[in-house]
Chains A and B, each alone.
Chain A
Amino acid sequence: MRLLPFDYATRNLGRSPGRLVLAVLGSALVVLLVIASAAFVRGMGSSLSLPEENSNVIFLGAGSEESVERSEVSTRAAEVVATLPSVRTRLGERYVSPEVHIALAIRTEESQVEGRLTPVRGVRPTAYLVHSQVHIVGGRTPTPGADELMVGGLVGGQLGVDASRLALGKTLLIDGRPWSIVGHFRAPHTVMDAEIWMALTDLQVVGQRDDLSCVVVTLDPALGDFTDAEVLAAQRLDLELTAMREVDYYGALARFYAPIRAMVLVTASLIALGGILGGLNTMVAAFAARVREVGTLQVLGYPRRAIILSFVQESVIVAATGALIAGVVGKLLLDGIAVRFSMGAFGLVVDAPVLAIGIAAGIILGIVGALPPTLRCMKLPVGQALRG
Protein backbone atom coordinates (compact mmCIF):
# COMPACT_ATOMS: atom_id res chain seq x y z
CA MET A 1 0.00 0.00 0.00
CA ARG A 2 1.31 3.43 -0.95
CA LEU A 3 1.37 5.49 2.26
CA LEU A 4 1.35 9.23 2.67
CA PRO A 5 4.64 10.48 4.13
CA PHE A 6 4.58 10.99 7.90
CA ASP A 7 5.56 14.64 7.57
CA TYR A 8 2.42 15.21 5.49
CA ALA A 9 0.50 14.66 8.73
CA THR A 10 2.84 16.79 10.83
CA ARG A 11 2.91 19.67 8.33
CA ASN A 12 -0.87 19.65 8.16
CA LEU A 13 -0.96 20.35 11.89
CA GLY A 14 0.58 23.77 11.32
CA ARG A 15 -2.08 24.88 8.84
CA SER A 16 -4.28 26.26 11.59
CA PRO A 17 -2.21 27.06 14.69
CA GLY A 18 -5.23 28.32 16.66
CA ARG A 19 -7.19 25.14 16.07
CA LEU A 20 -4.09 23.08 16.87
CA VAL A 21 -3.62 24.80 20.23
CA LEU A 22 -7.28 24.35 21.12
CA ALA A 23 -7.22 20.68 20.15
CA VAL A 24 -4.06 20.04 22.18
CA LEU A 25 -5.50 21.85 25.21
CA GLY A 26 -8.80 19.99 24.91
CA SER A 27 -7.00 16.68 24.80
CA ALA A 28 -4.78 17.72 27.73
CA LEU A 29 -7.82 18.60 29.85
CA VAL A 30 -9.55 15.30 29.20
CA VAL A 31 -6.36 13.33 29.90
CA LEU A 32 -5.66 15.40 33.02
CA LEU A 33 -9.06 14.42 34.32
CA VAL A 34 -8.35 10.77 33.62
CA ILE A 35 -4.99 11.10 35.39
CA ALA A 36 -6.63 12.82 38.39
CA SER A 37 -9.22 10.05 38.66
CA ALA A 38 -6.62 7.31 38.36
CA ALA A 39 -4.42 9.12 40.92
CA PHE A 40 -7.39 9.33 43.30
CA VAL A 41 -8.20 5.64 42.97
CA ARG A 42 -4.56 4.63 43.25
CA GLY A 43 -3.92 6.96 46.20
CA MET A 44 -6.92 5.72 48.14
CA GLY A 45 -6.15 2.12 47.27
CA SER A 46 -2.50 2.31 48.26
CA SER A 47 -3.28 4.05 51.55
CA LEU A 48 -5.57 1.15 52.47
CA SER A 49 -3.33 -1.67 51.36
CA LEU A 50 -0.31 -3.16 53.02
CA PRO A 51 2.35 -5.44 51.59
CA GLU A 52 1.50 -9.14 51.94
CA GLU A 53 4.68 -9.71 53.93
CA ASN A 54 3.31 -7.45 56.66
CA SER A 55 3.05 -9.67 59.74
CA ASN A 56 1.28 -7.21 62.02
CA VAL A 57 -1.76 -8.33 63.96
CA ILE A 58 -4.29 -5.92 65.46
CA PHE A 59 -6.06 -6.93 68.65
CA LEU A 60 -9.36 -5.04 68.71
CA GLY A 61 -12.33 -5.10 71.03
CA ALA A 62 -14.68 -7.95 70.08
CA GLY A 63 -17.39 -6.59 67.79
CA SER A 64 -15.33 -3.61 66.65
CA GLU A 65 -13.62 -5.33 63.75
CA GLU A 66 -14.72 -2.62 61.33
CA SER A 67 -13.39 0.45 63.12
CA VAL A 68 -10.44 0.86 65.41
CA GLU A 69 -11.84 4.19 66.58
CA ARG A 70 -14.90 2.46 68.05
CA SER A 71 -12.84 -0.28 69.63
CA GLU A 72 -12.24 -0.49 73.38
CA VAL A 73 -9.57 -2.76 74.77
CA SER A 74 -8.49 -3.12 78.38
CA THR A 75 -5.01 -1.81 79.18
CA ARG A 76 -4.27 -5.28 80.60
CA ALA A 77 -4.58 -6.63 77.08
CA ALA A 78 -1.19 -5.20 76.10
CA GLU A 79 0.53 -7.16 78.88
CA VAL A 80 -1.31 -10.36 77.98
CA VAL A 81 -0.65 -9.97 74.26
CA ALA A 82 3.04 -9.38 74.99
CA THR A 83 3.22 -12.94 76.40
CA LEU A 84 2.44 -14.36 72.97
CA PRO A 85 5.55 -16.44 72.16
CA SER A 86 5.44 -15.59 68.46
CA VAL A 87 5.80 -11.81 68.99
CA ARG A 88 8.94 -10.43 67.40
CA THR A 89 11.66 -9.26 69.76
CA ARG A 90 14.62 -6.98 69.10
CA LEU A 91 17.32 -6.34 71.67
CA GLY A 92 14.89 -7.45 74.34
CA GLU A 93 12.11 -5.11 73.18
CA ARG A 94 8.82 -6.79 72.27
CA TYR A 95 7.07 -5.51 69.14
CA VAL A 96 3.86 -4.70 71.01
CA SER A 97 2.22 -1.33 70.49
CA PRO A 98 -0.75 -0.36 72.68
CA GLU A 99 -2.56 2.48 70.93
CA VAL A 100 -5.45 4.90 71.26
CA HIS A 101 -7.09 6.21 68.07
CA ILE A 102 -9.38 9.22 68.29
CA ALA A 103 -10.54 11.75 65.69
CA LEU A 104 -10.11 15.13 67.39
CA ALA A 105 -11.21 18.59 66.30
CA ILE A 106 -7.90 20.39 65.73
CA ARG A 107 -7.76 24.18 65.42
CA THR A 108 -4.83 26.02 63.91
CA GLU A 109 -5.91 29.51 65.03
CA GLU A 110 -7.55 30.83 68.20
CA SER A 111 -10.10 32.63 66.04
CA GLN A 112 -11.19 29.41 64.38
CA VAL A 113 -14.70 28.52 65.59
CA GLU A 114 -14.61 24.83 64.73
CA GLY A 115 -11.62 22.61 64.37
CA ARG A 116 -11.11 20.04 61.64
CA LEU A 117 -11.57 16.43 62.62
CA THR A 118 -8.16 14.82 62.34
CA PRO A 119 -7.11 11.29 63.29
CA VAL A 120 -4.83 11.34 66.32
CA ARG A 121 -2.93 8.29 67.53
CA GLY A 122 -1.58 7.90 71.05
CA VAL A 123 1.49 5.69 71.07
CA ARG A 124 4.36 4.38 73.09
CA PRO A 125 7.89 4.21 71.63
CA THR A 126 7.32 0.60 70.53
CA ALA A 127 4.92 1.96 67.87
CA TYR A 128 7.97 2.96 65.83
CA LEU A 129 9.09 -0.68 65.84
CA VAL A 130 5.69 -2.08 64.89
CA HIS A 131 4.90 0.52 62.22
CA SER A 132 8.08 0.32 60.21
CA GLN A 133 6.63 2.53 57.45
CA VAL A 134 6.88 5.54 59.77
CA HIS A 135 10.06 7.56 59.36
CA ILE A 136 10.81 10.62 61.46
CA VAL A 137 12.02 13.25 58.99
CA GLY A 138 12.42 16.15 61.39
CA GLY A 139 12.53 16.90 65.09
CA ARG A 140 11.91 14.18 67.66
CA THR A 141 9.16 12.10 69.22
CA PRO A 142 6.75 13.80 71.68
CA THR A 143 7.55 13.68 75.38
CA PRO A 144 4.70 12.37 77.56
CA GLY A 145 3.03 15.02 79.71
CA ALA A 146 4.60 17.95 77.86
CA ASP A 147 1.72 18.74 75.45
CA GLU A 148 3.80 17.80 72.45
CA LEU A 149 2.90 16.13 69.20
CA MET A 150 4.30 14.97 65.91
CA VAL A 151 2.59 15.49 62.53
CA GLY A 152 2.46 13.30 59.45
CA GLY A 153 3.25 14.49 55.95
CA LEU A 154 -0.40 14.93 54.88
CA VAL A 155 -1.64 16.69 58.02
CA GLY A 156 -1.24 20.09 56.34
CA GLY A 157 -3.70 19.05 53.64
CA GLN A 158 -5.95 17.52 56.26
CA LEU A 159 -6.04 20.78 58.24
CA GLY A 160 -6.06 23.00 55.16
CA VAL A 161 -2.85 24.86 56.04
CA ASP A 162 0.57 25.31 54.46
CA ALA A 163 3.52 23.21 55.54
CA SER A 164 5.08 26.33 57.11
CA ARG A 165 2.16 26.50 59.56
CA LEU A 166 3.19 23.07 60.84
CA ALA A 167 6.89 23.88 61.25
CA LEU A 168 8.72 22.63 64.34
CA GLY A 169 7.92 24.83 67.33
CA LYS A 170 4.50 25.92 66.02
CA THR A 171 1.41 24.96 67.99
CA LEU A 172 -1.95 23.36 67.28
CA LEU A 173 -4.99 23.80 69.50
CA ILE A 174 -6.43 20.62 70.95
CA ASP A 175 -9.08 20.71 73.63
CA GLY A 176 -8.47 24.45 73.98
CA ARG A 177 -4.77 23.99 74.78
CA PRO A 178 -1.76 24.70 72.59
CA TRP A 179 0.29 21.61 71.71
CA SER A 180 3.79 22.08 70.36
CA ILE A 181 4.86 20.42 67.14
CA VAL A 182 8.16 18.74 67.98
CA GLY A 183 8.45 16.28 65.13
CA HIS A 184 7.57 15.50 61.53
CA PHE A 185 7.13 12.01 60.17
CA ARG A 186 6.32 10.44 56.85
CA ALA A 187 4.57 7.16 56.20
CA PRO A 188 3.96 7.37 52.45
CA HIS A 189 0.94 5.60 51.00
CA THR A 190 -0.51 4.76 54.42
CA VAL A 191 -3.33 6.32 56.45
CA MET A 192 -0.73 7.16 59.11
CA ASP A 193 0.68 9.90 56.88
CA ALA A 194 -2.41 12.01 57.64
CA GLU A 195 -2.26 11.42 61.40
CA ILE A 196 -1.02 13.31 64.41
CA TRP A 197 0.87 11.22 66.94
CA MET A 198 1.30 11.99 70.62
CA ALA A 199 2.17 10.09 73.78
CA LEU A 200 -0.36 7.38 74.65
CA THR A 201 -1.08 8.73 78.14
CA ASP A 202 -1.56 12.27 76.80
CA LEU A 203 -4.23 11.14 74.35
CA GLN A 204 -5.92 9.08 77.04
CA VAL A 205 -6.18 12.26 79.13
CA VAL A 206 -7.47 14.32 76.19
CA GLY A 207 -9.93 11.61 75.20
CA GLN A 208 -10.94 11.00 78.82
CA ARG A 209 -10.50 7.29 78.51
CA ASP A 210 -8.50 4.79 80.53
CA ASP A 211 -8.57 1.98 78.00
CA LEU A 212 -6.96 1.39 74.61
CA SER A 213 -8.31 1.28 71.08
CA CYS A 214 -6.12 -1.62 70.04
CA VAL A 215 -2.86 -3.43 70.54
CA VAL A 216 -0.76 -3.93 67.41
CA VAL A 217 1.93 -6.58 67.43
CA THR A 218 4.47 -7.77 64.88
CA LEU A 219 4.82 -11.53 64.69
CA ASP A 220 8.06 -13.31 63.94
CA PRO A 221 7.21 -15.88 61.24
CA ALA A 222 10.00 -18.10 62.55
CA LEU A 223 8.30 -18.32 65.95
CA GLY A 224 4.66 -18.71 64.99
CA ASP A 225 1.85 -17.41 62.89
CA PHE A 226 -1.46 -15.59 63.02
CA THR A 227 -3.25 -18.67 64.38
CA ASP A 228 -1.38 -18.21 67.68
CA ALA A 229 -2.89 -14.74 67.97
CA GLU A 230 -6.36 -16.11 67.19
CA VAL A 231 -5.97 -18.80 69.85
CA LEU A 232 -4.92 -16.17 72.40
CA ALA A 233 -7.98 -14.03 71.55
CA ALA A 234 -10.21 -17.12 71.82
CA GLN A 235 -8.71 -18.13 75.15
CA ARG A 236 -8.82 -14.70 76.78
CA LEU A 237 -12.57 -14.22 76.82
CA ASP A 238 -12.13 -11.94 79.84
CA LEU A 239 -10.35 -9.39 77.62
CA GLU A 240 -13.03 -9.54 74.89
CA LEU A 241 -10.47 -9.40 72.11
CA THR A 242 -10.54 -10.21 68.47
CA ALA A 243 -7.38 -10.69 66.43
CA MET A 244 -7.11 -9.48 62.84
CA ARG A 245 -4.24 -9.38 60.42
CA GLU A 246 -3.46 -5.73 59.74
CA VAL A 247 -3.55 -6.57 56.03
CA ASP A 248 -7.11 -7.92 56.41
CA TYR A 249 -8.24 -4.94 58.48
CA TYR A 250 -7.21 -2.45 55.82
CA GLY A 251 -8.40 -4.84 53.09
CA ALA A 252 -11.90 -4.70 54.61
CA LEU A 253 -11.71 -0.90 54.67
CA ALA A 254 -10.61 -0.86 51.03
CA ARG A 255 -13.62 -3.03 50.12
CA PHE A 256 -15.85 -0.60 52.03
CA TYR A 257 -14.56 2.28 49.89
CA ALA A 258 -14.66 0.31 46.62
CA PRO A 259 -18.01 1.86 45.53
CA ILE A 260 -16.51 5.35 45.90
CA ARG A 261 -13.55 4.37 43.74
CA ALA A 262 -15.90 2.86 41.17
CA MET A 263 -18.00 6.02 41.19
CA VAL A 264 -14.91 8.16 40.56
CA LEU A 265 -13.90 5.94 37.64
CA VAL A 266 -17.40 6.01 36.14
CA THR A 267 -17.56 9.80 36.49
CA ALA A 268 -14.15 10.15 34.85
CA SER A 269 -15.19 7.80 32.05
CA LEU A 270 -18.36 9.78 31.41
CA ILE A 271 -16.44 13.06 31.29
CA ALA A 272 -13.84 11.48 29.02
CA LEU A 273 -16.68 10.28 26.80
CA GLY A 274 -18.01 13.84 26.75
CA GLY A 275 -14.52 14.97 25.76
CA ILE A 276 -14.40 12.44 22.95
CA LEU A 277 -17.83 13.48 21.67
CA GLY A 278 -16.80 17.14 21.81
CA GLY A 279 -13.60 16.25 19.96
CA LEU A 280 -15.60 14.33 17.37
CA ASN A 281 -17.72 17.39 16.74
CA THR A 282 -14.62 19.50 16.16
CA MET A 283 -13.01 16.85 13.99
CA VAL A 284 -16.13 16.45 11.85
CA ALA A 285 -16.09 20.18 11.16
CA ALA A 286 -12.34 20.19 10.55
CA PHE A 287 -12.35 17.20 8.23
CA ALA A 288 -15.46 18.33 6.38
CA ALA A 289 -13.43 21.33 5.24
CA ARG A 290 -10.83 18.92 3.84
CA VAL A 291 -13.11 16.92 1.57
CA ARG A 292 -11.50 18.37 -1.57
CA GLU A 293 -8.04 17.46 -0.21
CA VAL A 294 -9.21 13.88 0.31
CA GLY A 295 -10.49 13.73 -3.23
CA THR A 296 -7.22 15.14 -4.60
CA LEU A 297 -5.16 12.60 -2.67
CA GLN A 298 -7.30 9.81 -4.09
CA VAL A 299 -6.80 11.14 -7.63
CA LEU A 300 -3.04 11.18 -6.94
CA GLY A 301 -3.28 7.47 -6.31
CA TYR A 302 -3.30 7.19 -2.57
CA PRO A 303 -5.62 4.45 -1.38
CA ARG A 304 -8.35 5.29 1.12
CA ARG A 305 -6.66 3.36 3.90
CA ALA A 306 -3.48 5.43 3.47
CA ILE A 307 -5.48 8.67 3.73
CA ILE A 308 -7.35 7.40 6.80
CA LEU A 309 -4.03 6.43 8.39
CA SER A 310 -2.57 9.88 7.73
CA PHE A 311 -5.59 11.64 9.26
CA VAL A 312 -5.47 9.34 12.31
CA GLN A 313 -1.76 10.11 12.62
CA GLU A 314 -2.57 13.81 12.79
CA SER A 315 -5.20 13.27 15.41
CA VAL A 316 -3.02 10.95 17.51
CA ILE A 317 -0.11 13.43 17.41
CA VAL A 318 -2.40 16.17 18.73
CA ALA A 319 -3.97 13.97 21.41
CA ALA A 320 -0.66 12.46 22.49
CA THR A 321 0.89 15.93 22.77
CA GLY A 322 -2.03 16.91 24.99
CA ALA A 323 -1.57 13.72 27.00
CA LEU A 324 2.13 14.46 27.52
CA ILE A 325 1.32 17.99 28.70
CA ALA A 326 -1.36 16.55 31.02
CA GLY A 327 1.14 14.02 32.36
CA VAL A 328 3.69 16.73 33.20
CA VAL A 329 1.03 18.96 34.77
CA GLY A 330 -0.42 16.02 36.70
CA LYS A 331 2.96 14.96 38.05
CA LEU A 332 3.91 18.51 39.04
CA LEU A 333 0.58 19.70 40.43
CA LEU A 334 -1.43 16.67 41.52
CA ASP A 335 1.08 14.17 42.88
CA GLY A 336 0.93 14.04 46.67
CA ILE A 337 -2.03 16.40 47.09
CA ALA A 338 -3.96 15.45 50.22
CA VAL A 339 -7.57 14.39 49.79
CA ARG A 340 -9.68 14.25 52.95
CA PHE A 341 -11.87 11.24 53.61
CA SER A 342 -13.39 9.64 56.69
CA MET A 343 -10.17 7.77 57.52
CA GLY A 344 -8.21 11.06 57.52
CA ALA A 345 -6.54 11.84 54.25
CA PHE A 346 -4.59 10.20 51.49
CA GLY A 347 -2.26 11.58 48.86
CA LEU A 348 -3.00 11.47 45.15
CA VAL A 349 -0.50 9.15 43.51
CA VAL A 350 0.71 10.07 40.03
CA ASP A 351 3.18 7.28 39.30
CA ALA A 352 4.20 5.32 36.22
CA PRO A 353 1.00 3.22 35.95
CA VAL A 354 -1.19 6.32 36.34
CA LEU A 355 0.83 8.20 33.69
CA ALA A 356 0.60 5.16 31.40
CA ILE A 357 -3.19 5.19 31.81
CA GLY A 358 -3.21 8.89 30.92
CA ILE A 359 -1.06 8.43 27.80
CA ALA A 360 -3.16 5.43 26.73
CA ALA A 361 -6.32 7.50 27.21
CA GLY A 362 -4.79 10.24 25.05
CA ILE A 363 -3.94 7.84 22.24
CA ILE A 364 -7.38 6.23 22.36
CA LEU A 365 -8.88 9.72 22.31
CA GLY A 366 -6.85 10.51 19.18
CA ILE A 367 -7.86 7.33 17.33
CA VAL A 368 -11.51 7.28 18.35
CA GLY A 369 -11.83 11.01 17.74
CA ALA A 370 -10.43 10.82 14.19
CA LEU A 371 -11.88 7.65 12.75
CA PRO A 372 -15.62 8.48 12.42
CA PRO A 373 -15.18 11.90 10.72
CA THR A 374 -12.44 10.51 8.45
CA LEU A 375 -14.59 7.56 7.41
CA ARG A 376 -17.44 9.98 6.77
CA CYS A 377 -15.22 12.01 4.40
CA MET A 378 -14.21 8.82 2.59
CA LYS A 379 -17.77 7.92 1.75
CA LEU A 380 -18.02 10.62 -0.91
CA PRO A 381 -17.26 9.63 -4.53
CA VAL A 382 -14.01 11.14 -5.80
CA GLY A 383 -15.77 13.47 -8.26
CA GLN A 384 -18.09 14.87 -5.64
CA ALA A 385 -15.20 15.24 -3.21
CA LEU A 386 -13.20 17.25 -5.76
CA ARG A 387 -16.11 19.64 -6.23
CA GLY A 388 -16.06 20.13 -2.45
Chain B
Amino acid sequence: MRGLIMFSVLMATFAFAGCTTKDSAPKPGGAAGGVSSGLPDGIMLSSAPADAKPLGEVKKSAKKGDKVTFVARVGGTKHPFVDGRATMIVIDSSLAACDALEDDDCATPWDYCCEPRESKTANSATVQIVGDDGKPLALSLKGQGGIEELVTITVVGVVTEKNDEGLMVVNASGVHVKKG
Protein backbone atom coordinates (compact mmCIF):
# COMPACT_ATOMS: atom_id res chain seq x y z
CA MET B 1 0.00 0.00 0.00
CA ARG B 2 2.83 2.36 0.98
CA GLY B 3 4.55 1.55 -2.30
CA LEU B 4 1.40 2.44 -4.22
CA ILE B 5 1.18 5.81 -2.42
CA MET B 6 4.87 6.56 -3.10
CA PHE B 7 4.36 5.63 -6.76
CA SER B 8 1.31 7.94 -7.03
CA VAL B 9 3.17 10.85 -5.41
CA LEU B 10 6.14 10.34 -7.74
CA MET B 11 3.87 10.20 -10.82
CA ALA B 12 2.02 13.36 -9.73
CA THR B 13 5.34 15.14 -9.16
CA PHE B 14 6.54 14.19 -12.63
CA ALA B 15 3.24 15.21 -14.16
CA PHE B 16 3.35 18.69 -12.59
CA ALA B 17 7.05 19.03 -13.34
CA GLY B 18 6.25 18.12 -16.95
CA CYS B 19 3.58 20.83 -17.15
CA THR B 20 5.91 23.41 -15.64
CA THR B 21 8.73 22.53 -18.00
CA LYS B 22 6.44 22.81 -21.02
CA ASP B 23 5.02 26.19 -19.98
CA SER B 24 8.32 27.72 -19.05
CA ALA B 25 10.21 26.58 -22.13
CA PRO B 26 11.56 29.42 -24.27
CA LYS B 27 9.27 30.25 -27.16
CA PRO B 28 10.41 30.89 -30.68
CA GLY B 29 10.67 34.56 -31.31
CA GLY B 30 10.33 35.39 -27.67
CA ALA B 31 13.64 37.16 -27.43
CA ALA B 32 12.19 40.64 -27.22
CA GLY B 33 10.66 40.18 -23.78
CA GLY B 34 7.13 39.21 -22.86
CA VAL B 35 5.67 35.88 -23.91
CA SER B 36 5.04 34.94 -27.51
CA SER B 37 3.93 31.59 -28.77
CA GLY B 38 3.25 30.18 -32.17
CA LEU B 39 5.00 33.00 -34.01
CA PRO B 40 7.70 32.12 -36.54
CA ASP B 41 11.28 32.38 -35.31
CA GLY B 42 12.83 35.80 -35.61
CA ILE B 43 9.57 37.75 -35.87
CA MET B 44 9.97 39.42 -32.50
CA LEU B 45 13.04 41.65 -32.75
CA SER B 46 15.23 42.30 -29.73
CA SER B 47 16.35 45.71 -30.97
CA ALA B 48 14.57 48.38 -32.98
CA PRO B 49 15.66 48.79 -36.62
CA ALA B 50 17.56 52.04 -37.00
CA ASP B 51 15.97 53.26 -40.22
CA ALA B 52 12.36 53.29 -39.03
CA LYS B 53 10.16 56.26 -40.01
CA PRO B 54 6.76 57.32 -38.66
CA LEU B 55 3.85 55.34 -40.13
CA GLY B 56 2.10 58.46 -41.47
CA GLU B 57 5.17 59.41 -43.49
CA VAL B 58 5.68 55.90 -44.81
CA LYS B 59 2.03 55.53 -45.77
CA LYS B 60 2.09 58.63 -47.96
CA SER B 61 4.67 57.21 -50.34
CA ALA B 62 4.45 53.44 -49.96
CA LYS B 63 3.30 51.30 -52.86
CA LYS B 64 2.20 47.71 -53.08
CA GLY B 65 5.28 45.46 -52.88
CA ASP B 66 7.47 48.02 -51.07
CA LYS B 67 9.53 46.91 -48.13
CA VAL B 68 8.79 49.29 -45.26
CA THR B 69 10.03 49.94 -41.74
CA PHE B 70 7.91 52.18 -39.57
CA VAL B 71 7.11 53.16 -36.00
CA ALA B 72 3.51 53.20 -34.81
CA ARG B 73 1.31 52.56 -31.82
CA VAL B 74 -1.18 49.73 -31.55
CA GLY B 75 -4.64 51.29 -31.83
CA GLY B 76 -6.83 53.47 -33.97
CA THR B 77 -9.95 51.45 -33.33
CA LYS B 78 -11.83 50.09 -30.33
CA HIS B 79 -10.73 46.54 -31.14
CA PRO B 80 -7.23 46.74 -32.70
CA PHE B 81 -6.68 42.99 -32.42
CA VAL B 82 -8.54 40.21 -34.17
CA ASP B 83 -9.13 37.38 -31.76
CA GLY B 84 -7.57 34.23 -33.17
CA ARG B 85 -5.79 35.87 -36.12
CA ALA B 86 -2.34 37.48 -36.28
CA THR B 87 -3.76 40.82 -37.39
CA MET B 88 -3.67 44.19 -35.67
CA ILE B 89 -4.31 47.81 -36.44
CA VAL B 90 -1.64 50.42 -35.78
CA ILE B 91 -1.67 54.20 -35.96
CA ASP B 92 0.97 56.90 -36.31
CA SER B 93 2.61 57.77 -32.99
CA SER B 94 2.24 61.51 -33.56
CA LEU B 95 -1.55 61.32 -33.13
CA ALA B 96 -2.76 61.83 -29.60
CA ALA B 97 -4.57 58.96 -27.93
CA CYS B 98 -7.49 59.96 -25.75
CA ASP B 99 -5.55 59.38 -22.52
CA ALA B 100 -3.14 62.14 -23.54
CA LEU B 101 -5.93 64.67 -23.15
CA GLU B 102 -6.64 66.31 -19.83
CA ASP B 103 -9.87 65.41 -18.04
CA ASP B 104 -10.53 62.54 -20.40
CA ASP B 105 -11.87 59.37 -18.82
CA CYS B 106 -12.22 57.34 -22.00
CA ALA B 107 -12.29 53.63 -21.18
CA THR B 108 -10.71 52.72 -24.52
CA PRO B 109 -8.15 55.47 -25.23
CA TRP B 110 -6.56 53.35 -27.96
CA ASP B 111 -9.55 53.95 -30.23
CA TYR B 112 -8.32 57.54 -30.78
CA CYS B 113 -11.95 58.68 -30.77
CA CYS B 114 -10.79 62.23 -30.17
CA GLU B 115 -9.10 62.29 -33.59
CA PRO B 116 -11.05 63.11 -36.76
CA ARG B 117 -11.97 60.02 -38.72
CA GLU B 118 -10.09 61.19 -41.84
CA SER B 119 -6.92 61.69 -39.82
CA LYS B 120 -7.17 58.23 -38.32
CA THR B 121 -7.73 56.60 -41.70
CA ALA B 122 -4.81 58.45 -43.26
CA ASN B 123 -2.45 57.43 -40.48
CA SER B 124 -3.44 53.82 -39.84
CA ALA B 125 -2.33 50.51 -41.25
CA THR B 126 -3.11 46.85 -40.82
CA VAL B 127 -0.18 44.71 -39.73
CA GLN B 128 -0.44 40.97 -40.07
CA ILE B 129 1.85 37.99 -39.71
CA VAL B 130 1.02 35.43 -42.34
CA GLY B 131 1.75 31.78 -42.81
CA ASP B 132 2.86 29.93 -45.93
CA ASP B 133 -0.66 30.17 -47.35
CA GLY B 134 -0.51 33.97 -47.23
CA LYS B 135 -3.26 34.15 -44.63
CA PRO B 136 -2.85 35.58 -41.12
CA LEU B 137 -1.67 32.97 -38.61
CA ALA B 138 -4.41 31.52 -36.44
CA LEU B 139 -3.33 33.25 -33.24
CA SER B 140 -4.00 36.57 -31.60
CA LEU B 141 -1.17 39.10 -31.50
CA LYS B 142 -2.41 40.61 -28.26
CA GLY B 143 0.06 39.71 -25.53
CA GLN B 144 2.65 38.32 -27.92
CA GLY B 145 6.10 39.64 -26.89
CA GLY B 146 4.44 42.45 -24.93
CA ILE B 147 2.17 43.68 -27.74
CA GLU B 148 -0.78 45.49 -26.18
CA GLU B 149 -3.01 48.43 -27.00
CA LEU B 150 -1.11 51.75 -27.22
CA VAL B 151 2.29 50.05 -27.13
CA THR B 152 4.80 51.58 -29.54
CA ILE B 153 6.16 49.10 -32.03
CA THR B 154 8.52 49.13 -34.96
CA VAL B 155 7.40 47.02 -37.90
CA VAL B 156 9.48 45.66 -40.76
CA GLY B 157 7.46 44.21 -43.60
CA VAL B 158 6.11 44.31 -47.12
CA VAL B 159 3.08 46.29 -48.28
CA THR B 160 0.60 43.85 -49.77
CA GLU B 161 -2.45 46.10 -50.19
CA LYS B 162 -2.53 49.85 -50.70
CA ASN B 163 -4.91 52.43 -52.10
CA ASP B 164 -5.39 56.18 -51.82
CA GLU B 165 -8.51 55.90 -49.67
CA GLY B 166 -6.63 54.68 -46.59
CA LEU B 167 -6.05 50.99 -47.19
CA MET B 168 -2.58 49.71 -46.28
CA VAL B 169 -1.89 46.13 -45.29
CA VAL B 170 1.63 45.14 -44.27
CA ASN B 171 2.83 41.57 -43.93
CA ALA B 172 5.33 41.87 -41.12
CA SER B 173 8.63 40.00 -41.05
CA GLY B 174 9.82 41.67 -37.87
CA VAL B 175 8.20 43.47 -34.94
CA HIS B 176 9.98 45.24 -32.13
CA VAL B 177 8.08 46.28 -29.03
CA LYS B 178 9.33 49.40 -27.27
CA LYS B 179 9.62 48.86 -23.53
CA GLY B 180 8.45 51.34 -20.93
Contact = CB atoms under 8 A, between A and B. Distances in A.
| Range class of the A interface residue count | 10 to 19
A147 to B, nearest CB: 35
B87 interface: yes
A125 interface: no
Interface stretch (A232-240, A333-341, A375-383): A232-240
Contacts of B165: 238
Nearest to A225: B84
A230 B126 CA distance: 12
Given A237-B121, A237-B124, A238-B166, A231 B87 contact: yes
B126 A234 contact: yes
A235 B121 contact: no
A237 B91 CA distance: 11
A235 B126 contact: yes
Interface string B127-158: 01000000010000000000000000000000
A227 to B, nearest CB: 5
B107 to A, nearest CB: 14
Contacts of A227: 82-85
Contacts of A236: 167
A236 B167 CA distance: 6
A63 B113 contact: yes
B89 A237 contact: yes
Nearest to A236: B167
Nearest to A233: B82
> Interface majority SS on A: helix, strand, loop or mixed?
helix
Interface residues of B, number: 27
Interface string A194-233: 0000000000000000000000000000000001001100
Interface in B100-124: 111, 113, 117, 121, 124
B167 A62 contact: no
B39 interface: no
A234 B87 contact: yes
Interface in B25-79: 76-79
A238 B121 contact: yes
A64 to B, nearest CB: 11
Contacts of B166: 237-238, 240
B131 to A, nearest CB: 13
A237 B168 contact: yes
A238 B117 CA distance: 11
B121 A240 contact: yes
B163 interface: yes
With a 10 A CB-CB cut-off, give which of B77, B78, B117, B163 has the most chain A CB atoms: B77
Interface string A68-106: 000000000000000000000000000000000000000
B117 A237 contact: no
Given A237-B166, A238-B166, A62 B84 contact: no
A234 B163 contact: no
A43 B178 CA distance: 52
With a 10 A CB-CB cut-off, give which of B87, B113, B125 has the most chain A CB atoms: B87
Given A63-B78, A63-B111, A238-B121, 13 more contacts: A62-B77, A65-B78, A230-B85, A234-B88, A234-B89, A235-B126, A235-B169, A237-B76, A237-B121, A237-B168, A240-B121, A242-B77, A242-B78
